[in-house]
Amino acid sequence: MWKGRFECETSDLVRRLGESISFDWRLYAHDIRGSIAHSRALLRAGVLNAEEQASIETGLLAIRDEIERGEFEFSMDLEDVHMNIEAALTSRIGAAGAKLHTARSRNDQVALDVRLFCREETGIIEAALRSLQRALVEVGMRYPDTVLPGYTHLQRGQPVLFAHHLLAYVEMLDRDAGRIADCRRRLNVMPLGSGALAGSTIVVDREAVARELEFDAVTRNSMDAVSDRDFVAELLFGLGLLGVHLSRLAEDLILWATAEFGFVTLSDAHTTGSSLMPQKKNPDVAELTRGKTGRLIGNLMSILTILKGLPLTYNRDLQEDKEPLFDSVDTIKLLLPVIAEMVAAMEVNEARTSAAAADPFLLATDIADYLVLRGVPFRQAHEVVGKLTAFSLKEGRGFPDLSLEEFQSFSEVFAPDVVALFNVRNALEARQAIGAPSPNGVAAELARWCSALA
């Protein structure tokens, strides 16, 4: 593409290897916005006159409109979105278009475009994330009294409210939103004006450009500015961890929707049938969520691997930042609304959750606490209840079916009031600590999240 010192044309294979227009074309709006701001800076610096700047801005806006209408023809020979737009502009308005690249490089130009892209997309993602939180809270409010077992090691542990389980994901998603907001704050620093790596002898007012483009500040080191992709890695980490949380939610829903659990029924709109087995109702949305998390993690590994061996400053390897970035952004933007829709439409089978939560062994820890509150050291109480559990299993009778004398054969501390423990509602109401699943505490949390997400 570049003439100058080169005496022969670029190989077709090299052209195919080096082109990025097939994917970076989607930066066009950010590229044009940055170029307009740069043209105004060149006007202030005396490089352009008012007529030239006006023709540049009008030409760029016309190109943007053509791209949005699908009427603009991108050329692979021009490598990337920047050169495609600049070449089209110059062909239309002449010498003024050729002046636009004064005092900038494609290095700081692409660094600007990618920051603008990330800033816009993080806002969209955060809004979709909040919608999913709202869906989880609303389902929790639909089933405020539903109880199910809480699990460790996928073994029944203790009873919890269904809403408390959903609120655990609301908390995870809130941390995800915080990470994305933190990333947006760190990336909102403007690199334009850094040139190829050492700025330019033609000085433009970078701070004025930053204000126009709504950046909080300008970068302070030109070498770092053109080679920094920390913000891409940080965003991909945030999206990767968000994907992990979505995958964990999906796994819970997949288990709960099985005949073995039967805790929830997913809507027909969010499940599929089998090509062979007519009775099947497969949780494909949840499974695809779980599967797509792999690509989110892979995209993070891709950018970290690209960056790890690069000397300062810009290297062409950095072209490879965009496809994993675009893919992760697109994947998350697809997943969040469909998961929110699936969660909102699911129904809870309260008969099944209640039956599972009625398992008397879920209250074993409460029995140990009963002994502790009567002076028995916890480790001793733990041992007593362990032996009591083994006896109950051997006898084929649950705790409520054992006599007081049988309880007292394991510890004389047991008294007639031990029977009050065998009530799930009592067990939940006793969990009064902040963050525990008492009905009052969970209701307060649901109300707090409703207000926060309003």
Cα separation, 409 vs 417, whole angstroms: 16
Can you read off the two tokens belonging to residue 241? 């961890």
Q: Is 295 left (phi over 0), alpha (psi -120 to 50) or beta?
A: alpha
Query: Cβ neighbours of residue 257 under 8 Å, at least 6 residues apart?
Result: 263, 264, 265, 266, 283, 286
Q: What ranges in 396-438 are assigned the alpha helix state H? A: 404-408, 424-429
Pair 113, 47: CB distance under 8 Å: no
The token pair that represents 405 in the structure block: 């004398």
Rounded alpha-carbon distances, angstroms, from residue 90 to 32, 73, 87, 196, 342: 14, 15, 5, 21, 50
In the block, tokens 């990333």 appear at 183
Peptide bond into 102 cis (omega under 30): no
CA 131 to chain centre: 13
How many angstroms separate the CA atoms of 56 and 27, rounded?
18
Q: Assess contact for 303 and 233: CB atoms under 8 A.
A: yes
Q: What is the DSSP letter of 409?
A: T
| β-sheet bridge partners, residue 159 | 149
Cβ atoms within 10 Å, residue 303? 25
Give the Cβ contact number of residue 305 at 10 Å: 11
Q: Which residues are catalytic?
A: 153, 274
